[in-house]
Homo-oligomer: A and B are copies of this chain.
């Protein structure tokens, strides 16, 4: 873990709500090893109302360019201000934080399910799988076509399935209604997105005896294990989502009780 200033190399507006921001260490320090599922804590400058840092998943690591990608949805003042940092601007990060998704040791059928901006860590995860010789499948959901972000990036690493609530892309409905879930039998499911979606995915996985890991977005104050604010109730009691998570095997969670 370290605290470091980054320079915003680019800040791309993907749609009215989402930005893709690529950052590199301001002093050209070489990025440390990072794992899919890990996140960063962003200091929000120039905001009278944002006191704490904001946790954002590592969307992708471009080792060649020494860049971290962040996919950010504007939902409040913190994310608004982050998305307003122009190219060339500075962003102070604490990183890398948290555990990571379990990377497969063997071949198999892996499904990566993301909803909304919860697709963010799935890109990095998919890339790491591909590099290990695995062809992941992605199942991404959103309200409409414009909410399914980074499609061409995902397609580089695996097959892409989509659902949209208005049917403007892929199948109409929620991710858990997608036909692949009926047609195929997966060995492992990874998921990140709105809690109701993740609970539905966890339930599907549980009912079908599929291993499943979910990445949580609990409210965080510090992000590195010091405040005990981010706890998730698990079978082992209250556990910090920032150090022992954000990725949990659903067997550890009490969602389905």
Query: Roughly how many angstroms separate A48 CA and B43 CA in the complex, as a whole number?
Result: 12
Q: How many copies does the complex hold?
A: 2
- Interface mask (A46-59 → B, CB under 8 Å = 1, otherwise 0): 11101100000000
Q: Contact size class for A? A: under 10
Contacts of A51 in B (CB 8 A): 48
Query: Roughly how many angstroms separate A45 CA and B49 CA in the complex, as a whole number?
Result: 11
Contacts of A50 in B (CB 8 A): 48
Closest B residue to A49 by beta carbon equals B48
Query: Roughly how many angstroms separate A45 CA and B77 CA in the complex, as a whole number?
Result: 13
Contacts of A46 in B (CB 8 A): 46-48, 81
Closest B residue to A48 by beta carbon equals B48
Q: Quote the shortest CB–CB distance from A238 to chain B (angstroms).
A: 31
Q: Quote the shortest CB–CB distance from A149 to chain B (angstroms).
A: 28
- Interface mask (A81-121 → B, CB under 8 Å = 1, otherwise 0): 10000000000000000000000000000000000000000
A-B pairs with beta carbons under 8 Å apart, 9 shown: A45-B48, A46-B46, A46-B47, A46-B48, A46-B81, A47-B48, A48-B48, A48-B50, A48-B51
Chain A interface residues (CB < 8 Å from chain B): 45-48, 50-51, 81
